[in-house]
Amino acid sequence: MSDVLIAGAGGFIGGSLAVRLSDEGYSLRCVDRKPLDDWYQLVPEAENVVADLQDLDACRAAVSGAETVYDLAADMGGMGFIENNKALCMLSVLTGTHLLVAARDEGVGRFFFASSACVYAADKQISPDVTALKEEDAYPAMAEDGYGWEKLFTERMCRHFHEDFGLETRVARYHNVYGPHGTYDGGREKAPAALARKIATAVLTGDRSIEIWGDGEQTRSFMYIDDCVRGTRMITDGPYGSPVNLGSSELVSINEMVTILEDVAGIQVKRNHNLSAPQGVRGRNSDNTLIRERYGWEPSITLREGLEQTYRWIYDRLASSLPVSG
């Protein structure tokens, strides 16, 4: 099987993709700048390399011999992280740019870039009662400050590397990915993992009070990791080079997600809304017309199913470290 580079393989999506590709028999080089002990999932059969891919020479070494490159390396996190670390998020432009240069020079067959729904214009996301975002809604551009602009810039780099150098690039705009083996504490976690952690903590400690960022009426859609990995593979192997939404179209408010998690956990919590916490845009959903047309498929794992798996995984981790209420 062809050789694959996964950049950012120590992270949530990169780790899950590595496991899937390894199961399919691909020969993998997995690269991340975190120490190996901190990788979320480690594929023992892969060539696992610790390197900072903001550096061009590190990118050349990583890409060497690869037929396919998945660029999943970025400084990212939930709203709390990206609102407070705009320059750090924008520096990921070095990773994308240097990987593209190395891929062009190495004659790589396919280059996949993980973009984000944060590229979408903010003025199209001011109401919780959203019209789902179509790919063309990214322009005229008014992306999420920092993180979203970096994604939009690298999307365009992909397009121009294809037009000018013939590199086959593929771009997916992920909408809120969640699942087991993701970040659930430390400040970079996103809403599903953060809320699952808070509710699992409430179960374990008996303290039923949890903080919710904002009034909880902000809406989003959330894609389970298995759909994300499947869609990523499909888009990378497929014929379509322009950015495609990869997200669930099941819209929920944060309050509704808390209710699902309460049901999964079998408790009711006391909700304390912190109105000064970061909340991001008011509402966002994925219009899946394009992915359905191009691939005859769209993410379909329900939030309920995905949250059950995610909650259980986070609960088990916390259960070994938290005192259980008597």
Q: Which residues are part of the catalytic machinery?
A: 147
How far apart are CB 88 and ligand NAD at their closest, in Å?
Answer: 9
The neighbouring-strand residues paired with 144 are none
Q: Exactly one of 30, 90, 103, 114 binds ligand NAD (CB under 6 A); which one?
A: 114
The identity of residue 242, as a single letter, is: S
Residue 11 interacts with ligand NAD (CB under 6 A): yes or no: yes
> What is the Cβ-side half-sphere exposure of residue 61, based on CA atoms within 13 angstroms?
15
How many residues contact ligand NAD, by CB under 6 A? 25
How far apart are CB 222 and ligand NAD at their closest, in Å?
Answer: 8
Residue closer to ligand NAD by CB (options 18, 203) is 18
What is the Cα–Cα distance from 87 to 219, expressed in whole angstroms? 26
Residue 310 interacts with ligand NAD (CB under 6 A): yes or no: no
Closest CA to 313 of 185, 212, 208, 216: 185
Residue 192 interacts with ligand NAD (CB under 6 A): yes or no: no
What is the Cα–Cα distance from 158 to 84, expressed in whole angstroms? 27
What is the Cα–Cα distance from 301 to 308, expressed in whole angstroms? 11
Cα-based torsion angle of the residue sequence 177, 182, 183, 185 in order, rounded to the nearest 10 degrees:
110
Residue 125 interacts with ligand NAD (CB under 6 A): yes or no: no
Nearest to ligand NAD by Cβ — which residue?
A: 11
The one segment of 47-55, 163-171, 191-199, 295-303 that binds ligand NAD by CB under 6 A:
47-55
Q: Are 130 and 284 in contact (CB under 8 A)?
A: yes
Residue 10 interacts with ligand NAD (CB under 6 A): yes or no: yes
Q: Exactly one of 1, 2, 45, 52 binds ligand NAD (CB under 6 A); which one?
A: 52
Residue 284 interacts with ligand NAD (CB under 6 A): yes or no: no
What is the Cα–Cα distance from 301 to 303, expressed in whole angstroms? 7
Q: Exactly one of 54, 201, 236, 285 binds ligand NAD (CB under 6 A); which one?
A: 54
Q: In this structure, what token pair is assigned to residue 313?
A: 């995984």
Q: 3-state class of 273 per DSSP?
A: strand
Task: Classify each residue of 294-321 as buried b or exposed e, where b means 16 or more C-beta atoms within 10 Å of its C-beta.
Answer: ebeebbebebeebbbbbbebbbeebeee
Residue 34 interacts with ligand NAD (CB under 6 A): yes or no: yes
Residue closer to ligand NAD by CB (options 96, 216) is 96
The one segment of 12-20, 194-202, 210-218, 256-264 that binds ligand NAD by CB under 6 A:
12-20
Residue 80 interacts with ligand NAD (CB under 6 A): yes or no: no
Identify residues 151-190 at the interface with ligand NAD (CB under 6 A): 174, 176-177, 183, 190
What is the Cα–Cα distance from 8 to 25, expressed in whole angstroms? 20
How far apart are CB 266 and ligand NAD at their closest, in Å?
Answer: 27
Token pair 């790589």: residue: 108
How far apart are CB 207 and ligand NAD at their closest, in Å?
Answer: 28
Q: Is the dihedral of CA 227, 123, 136, 70 positive or negative?
A: negative
Which chain residues interact with ligand NAD by CB under 6 A? 8, 10-14, 32-34, 52-54, 72-76, 95, 114, 116, 174, 176-177, 183, 190
